[in-house]
Structure 1
């Protein structure tokens, strides 16, 4: 049957199709979310990896996107490549041609081997007669923890000296008939390491590796393919070590820390294994042991908070070469040190590494050629354009105040390199970093130097002692800073051409591009992008500049949805979920920070919500149900932990540590805030249980939620005030945001209390990070979208816009507080906990709601009635299922093009691209308060027009009516009207469309 179907497909005239990607191969092919087109050496450590792919965009003869193309079958093959002869391939697994539209499957073939190499092949058949070429890529496995204990390497270093540079020489004896077929390294160095072989760094831009974890529970390792670094004869390996987080000064235990997580760490150490496979089937193994030699390198001290001290007089740049001889330094044998792992796991680092500079951020083409997008000219006010970024920052201004000050024009996390330095031997240069500067006369301070008050107790200073060799370059090791301003002490004559600065963060791709007709919203988006990257450092940190930089869970929960719209961070957050699970106590409690350094356990409910919030967000952005399955049991344990806390106190006195953090007007009832998170998580858990078909849990936790919803209202509602708790904006927002909490008879009064309060504050919202995340979606879905846009567009205090419209500093990242500086001199200027508004940009202004598990994309942008508030919005998002484009504008000038004469009509024009193999559901809201749709056009072709005889009342019990179409348009399956709301909804197949929805006043 399938063979006959494929035969018929081949007769369907594929000559009329072109490919936007110049290939018929599958695109975006991933294994365990590694994009195989982007990462050249992918390593996995699971026997059941998830494999996924997308179909390319097809163009017709007019170079328009072909519509309604679906996959009808796929074939996936997996081959093993013998380590001794990687030119041959042995078939391991073959799905055979499989009739299916699914582009995701889980490997279920033979178990993979330790340290083995494989080849993946994927192809598809489509409804338009295309049989694709094979996509072919390779990957490797590691499974380092499965090595024979008798042949295992040792953790080495020294507890006696600062042994942070080690080396090992060895020979590869090759006969006339043998050659190096393949070679791989496994290494874990903590706090951090850098690996060199035969005089070259193995990965030049890879920094601050391995990722930070609770080391005794899980320590990460990395694997490299080093075949091209080795040669016959003498070879050498070199390793630098840094303190990283494996350092007592940086491991600060806060109040309430559990004793099992309070281990203090010590000196740097690493474990290493090199396996070389020769073509004659022999194997050479090099392990870390006491035969390695080590010494103190030029980096005399390194500290994430304090900075580095580097003495270049002690540098030995050729230390990793086989011919290296050092006549002036004492190299001694390394010592065997204890493993950091205590009843835990040594596991592969499954996420991309931290990188510096250009390699840290991949920027695919997210541009659009439609006339809507090109009409947006002025994108933002200040900062470096991330969409056009080349990986480095150079000064935009310079002056002198207690040293040479360079303004990089952008707040970021990273460091600077200074080159072309000519000074005598032993000369000292210091680099100091700050986020903002004193303004002349502020608080009586008469100078305009850098202001380091918000660094609190740390120095953030790099000190260099120069060699005096001429034309020297200085750059710190094993630290990073959060800053915009660089103060150079000791080099008064240095100029901007000698300064190059590198943003540093976990490697990722920019997959989202939002812009609008509002310069304010565009600047907020710009700030969101930079603050998110600055705090993507193997785990989601809170801020990069002061003595924090920890995995605060509340921050992570609030920004995850925005982050997944903007960046490819699936593996990054999966790693963080595993860390949360590692840190979870036997009673289900999780902690405020992960790793647990400060805060409490059980976590404040609005911080602990990160566990379920991140899990659900990953599911929504991937459609991968296995993510829900993997963490379901431990998420339930956390919910049950919260329930036991509730049973002790009730909601009236429910525990809370942090409240609605950083509000403009403080809310006194913190139990309401924490109760909100508890109810929110129970409700979300019900959703997850329904997806997983856990019917008993759906029933039991629904009963729990209904009980909690009634109690929430009874406990916190104040009938005298007409609102919840103290009737603050935050309290009423959180109550209204919870399903079925506010009874229908009083809902109008609660809304009135909220709206009046906002009006009394001169149209400002005064809540903090928890309530503001709920505010914008709440307003937009309940008929107050105009107000939401007004609040988001404000530039006066307190608002997002005020952060870059104040007399102190125009923000290029999101701040920690609404307050202007120096009112809160200790506040961070680079936080992501307020980034939640970025999710609203995509979900409500663009209208993008993902339903990837159902192979659908829902697009429903909310429209303001006041057309001057926001006239144009555009976004491109490279989802896990393909590229989605949405752009809309209030099309005042399109009336004549559509041959419409009435001046009283309002028009919205929207262009949409639905990825191949998906379906789109696209909704249009009325542009007038009492409006109804007059007519609807697709590609300037009239699809539907309201008849003068069309009845104004509801036609049937359901308020949604299917409409009869005037013309048949390719790809359009259905047009329906909701007669209650006036919303028009289309169901379309994949492809590119241009719509015009025309609105008129509704006359009864």
Structure 2
């Protein structure tokens, strides 16, 4: 049946062709009345509405998802949604209703990444098929009616906002009995050009509503600033009362200029050529208390500046928290409020940056930067059920790949990011995230589906290497001192080696023995070349032609983390790394790659106390310094300029679970089919509790220090083998679901 899906359905739109200067049209509304003589035993509707869409049946929205479907490389692939309508259809007349928004498909706003020039760009369109007991009963064709330029959503642009005129609402437009004689026939239009595949990942949803409070003192006259208390992704929900035609404008920002008493967006706006950046507008109809929230845009914000033109009064306002509705798996709590706040801020940064795709930030860009996704992947897999979400996004990454194997820095991409912003440290998301998914969940389908494209990427990397050394791409991005940024040859070659190793393991897992042998040989060649090029003796890794960068901590950590340092030298390198941080008062002298490697490497080589002190030291530069300046999420820069909601420094939450909680992922026991629990209890931390729903079942690690003793209460899934290693080195084999342990500190 699936091969015949949409066989007779047509793509429908309101008509018109998009050009560079084409205006943004009001959101089109569609409806289709149909009669059922008998009710089916099984009814399913298959639907795709680009860019974003809402589907209604008899006046009710068919689900609670928003911002649907997920963004893709539209000229290669679009996602359709499947809804079970069994028991929801009526005998007699029924009505489908559809609203379409522009979303990513019709980005009209000029921006740094040129999405307004995308090859796929066009006015919104839809395709639909209703199957009753396996037989198509309703399809999208010219019998559908379209509102044309009528309707209340007068403007919607992803990076700008939405204008809604409630005076133009059409009550009952999606119900039986509505008079659509003034509507036009829907236009049959060209499709987006790619294939249609089902969206597997969960929908985005409104997951929370945070009350907004008025900021005192407020900004200049005619405006009020509200604070939801937390940087979130989403939009406002407002209850307002006033006269018809009064306008309420909502301007969103993550920062407040407390000197001017208004919002501060100077670090975000320059990337988008528009004076409407992150601005929604509601025009009242004058009918008592009116409630409204946007449909087809989203914003990153904590503060909302409200400006009213005309007679209107805000009765209630809240912030709607929107993200992909994946299941939360892990809870974390410790005796240290600062550590808890770091974990909480990382959680918020992750969910704020997963709105259909993993993004770098929810306001300025909204782009699917591959490096940011890679840095946060293990944190994400520990905390959320992400297999299907990564499946869909990585499929889009494969769609964006060039025939040469080259990948762009952002997914999706309209062609931007191939020659700047990409490179091994970013592109490796295509190889390493599938492997991480396998290790954490035991599932191999992402590896299987993408293997040939991953192999093609390795061919591309090899074509770019000189004597197995790579020198292109972004490196240790956003370091403390850009002039002392780790030499890209070191970090890029490190990822080249990591990719070769992962391809060797993947090939072996999938039974491709010849490929496994070839990648093993390549990995050894890269390892040898790396050591010859960058090892300078006495545990030091660096570049002979750049001695000013000697004792670069990310360079040392790269060699240790990826296993490029010979065993005979690794202890020297680890000690050198530790000594550098002790000498620098544990300050975070690294960028995003270093933030992934360093805490892990120090912990693995016996310097866990140093790793913990780096994490919690309060001075600049460091994670806690952000908290001391009011951060509710992770920042883009150690100094605090630019975005205040990035996830790329977020591996710290994975480190907390793996090292402090001791839940150790093991590629020889994928999906945690066997457990190793090895908690670390640093000085100054008195207790910790981690509850995690792993692929093999629920694990609860609950430890505390009492009277010079370390006490652990451990709960594991029934029947899962478990090795327990206590801080004093003693080891146990746990066979019971619940066991308590004790050792001296």
TM-score normalised by the chain length of structure 2: 0.91
Is 1:635 the counterpart of 2:489? The answer is no
Query: Which of 53, 67, 81 is the matching residue for 1:208?
Result: 67
Is 1:338 the counterpart of 2:190? The answer is yes
1:678 partner SS: helix
Whether the aligned pair in 2 keeps the contact of 1:171 and 1:234 (CA below 8 Å) is yes
**CA offsets, 1:742-767, max 9 Å, x none?**
562x5454344433432332221211
Is 1:164 the counterpart of 2:23? The answer is no
Alpha-carbon distance in 1 for matches of 2:196, 2:342:
40
Alpha-carbon distance in 1 for matches of 2:88, 2:691:
40
1:790 partner SS: helix
| Alpha-carbon shift at residue 180 of structure 1 (Å) | 4.0
Query: Which of 400, 424, 430 is the matching residue for 1:605?
Result: 424
Number of equivalenced pairs: 715
Query: Which of 765, 768, 771 is the matching residue for 2:594?
Result: 771
**CA offsets, 1:99-130, max 9 Å, x none?**
xxxxxxxxxxxxxxx3xxxxxxxxxxxxxxxx
2:215 partner SS: strand
Is 1:913 the counterpart of 2:715? The answer is yes
Alpha-carbon distance in 2 for matches of 1:220, 1:860:
42
| Alpha-carbon shift at residue 658 of structure 1 (Å) | 1.9
Query: Which of 730, 734, 739 is the matching residue for 2:554?
Result: 730
Alpha-carbon distance in 1 for matches of 2:350, 2:164:
30
Whether the aligned pair in 2 keeps the contact of 1:550 and 1:593 (CA below 8 Å) is yes
Alpha-carbon distance in 2 for matches of 1:689, 1:227:
43
Give the match for residue 580 of structure 1.
397
Whether the aligned pair in 1 keeps the contact of 2:246 and 2:309 (CA below 8 Å) is no
| Alpha-carbon shift at residue 779 of structure 1 (Å) | 0.4
Alpha-carbon distance in 2 for matches of 1:845, 1:492:
56
Whether the aligned pair in 1 keeps the contact of 2:723 and 2:734 (CA below 8 Å) is yes
Give the root-mean-square deviation of aligned CA atoms.
2.5
Q: Write the mapping of 1:559-708 to structure 2, written as runs, cut at 5 A.
A: 559-597=376-414, 598-600=416-418, 603-647=422-466, 650-651=468-469, 654-666=470-482, 667=485, 669-708=487-526
**CA offsets, 1:251-280, max 9 Å, x none?**
86859x9xxx95141100000112335xxx
Query: Which of 832, 841, 846 is the matching residue for 2:661?
Result: 846
1:724 partner SS: coil
Give the match for residue 350 of structure 2.
532
Whether the aligned pair in 1 keeps the contact of 2:228 and 2:318 (CA below 8 Å) is no
Whether the aligned pair in 2 keeps the contact of 1:663 and 1:767 (CA below 8 Å) is yes
Alpha-carbon distance in 1 for matches of 2:734, 2:582:
41
Alpha-carbon distance in 2 for matches of 1:750, 1:714:
15
Give the match for residue 744 of structure 2.
998
Give the match for residue 565 of structure 2.
741
Is 1:709 the counterpart of 2:527? The answer is yes
Give the match for residue 144 of structure 2.
292
**CA offsets, 1:124-170, max 9 Å, x none?**
xxxxxxxxxxxxxxxxxxx2x42373x33434332179363333343
Alpha-carbon distance in 2 for matches of 1:817, 1:650:
32
> How has the CA–CA distance of structure 1 residues 721 and 223 changed in structure 2, closer, same or farther, with 3 Å as cutoff?
closer
5+ residue gaps, structure 1: 1-113, 115-142, 358-390, 441-446, 893-905, 927-982, 1000-1004
Whether the aligned pair in 2 keeps the contact of 1:583 and 1:594 (CA below 8 Å) is yes
Whether the aligned pair in 2 keeps the contact of 1:245 and 1:251 (CA below 8 Å) is no
Alpha-carbon distance in 1 for matches of 2:325, 2:451:
28
Give the match for residue 154 of structure 1.
11
| Alpha-carbon shift at residue 773 of structure 1 (Å) | 0.3
Alpha-carbon distance in 2 for matches of 1:990, 1:767:
43
> How has the CA–CA distance of structure 1 residues 847 and 494 changed in structure 2, closer, same or farther, with 3 Å as cutoff?
farther
Is 1:876 the counterpart of 2:694? The answer is no
Query: Which of 731, 735, 740 is the matching residue for 1:989?
Result: 735
**CA offsets, 1:551-603, max 9 Å, x none?**
11001111011111111111101111211222222222222111124322593
1:454 partner SS: coil
| Alpha-carbon shift at residue 661 of structure 1 (Å) | 0.6
Give the match for residue 125 of structure 2.
269
Is 1:352 the counterpart of 2:202? The answer is yes
5+ residue gaps, structure 2: 18-23, 544-548
Alpha-carbon distance in 1 for matches of 2:631, 2:592:
18
Is 1:181 the counterpart of 2:41? The answer is yes
2:717 partner SS: strand
Alpha-carbon distance in 2 for matches of 1:276, 1:180:
6
> How has the CA–CA distance of structure 1 residues 760 and 471 changed in structure 2, closer, same or farther, with 3 Å as cutoff?
same
> How has the CA–CA distance of structure 1 residues 990 and 495 changed in structure 2, closer, same or farther, with 3 Å as cutoff?
farther
Whether the aligned pair in 2 keeps the contact of 1:415 and 1:503 (CA below 8 Å) is yes
Give the match for residue 553 of structure 1.
370
2:720 partner SS: strand
| Alpha-carbon shift at residue 990 of structure 1 (Å) | 4.7
Give the match for residue 432 of structure 1.
251
Q: Which moved more, 1:576-585 or 1:430-439?
A: 576-585
| Alpha-carbon shift at residue 736 of structure 1 (Å) | 2.3
> How has the CA–CA distance of structure 1 residues 475 and 624 changed in structure 2, closer, same or farther, with 3 Å as cutoff?
closer
Alpha-carbon distance in 2 for matches of 1:816, 1:253:
18
Whether the aligned pair in 2 keeps the contact of 1:438 and 1:451 (CA below 8 Å) is yes
Alpha-carbon distance in 2 for matches of 1:538, 1:156:
24
Q: Write the mapping of 1:286-435 to structure 2, written as runs, cut at 5 A.
A: 286-294=138-146, 295-296=148-149, 297-325=151-179, 330-341=182-193, 344-357=194-207, 391-399=208-216, 400-402=218-220, 403-419=223-239, 421-435=240-254
Give the match for residue 546 of structure 2.
none
> How has the CA–CA distance of structure 1 residues 700 and 569 changed in structure 2, closer, same or farther, with 3 Å as cutoff?
same
Q: Write the mapping of 1:242-257 to structure 2, written as runs, cut at 5 A.
A: 242-249=101-108
Query: Which of 781, 798, 811 is the matching residue for 2:631?
Result: 811
Whether the aligned pair in 2 keeps the contact of 1:733 and 1:775 (CA below 8 Å) is yes
Whether the aligned pair in 1 keeps the contact of 2:214 and 2:226 (CA below 8 Å) is yes
Q: Write the mapping of 1:54-69 to structure 2, written as runs, cut at 5 A.
A: none
TM-score normalised by the chain length of structure 1: 0.68
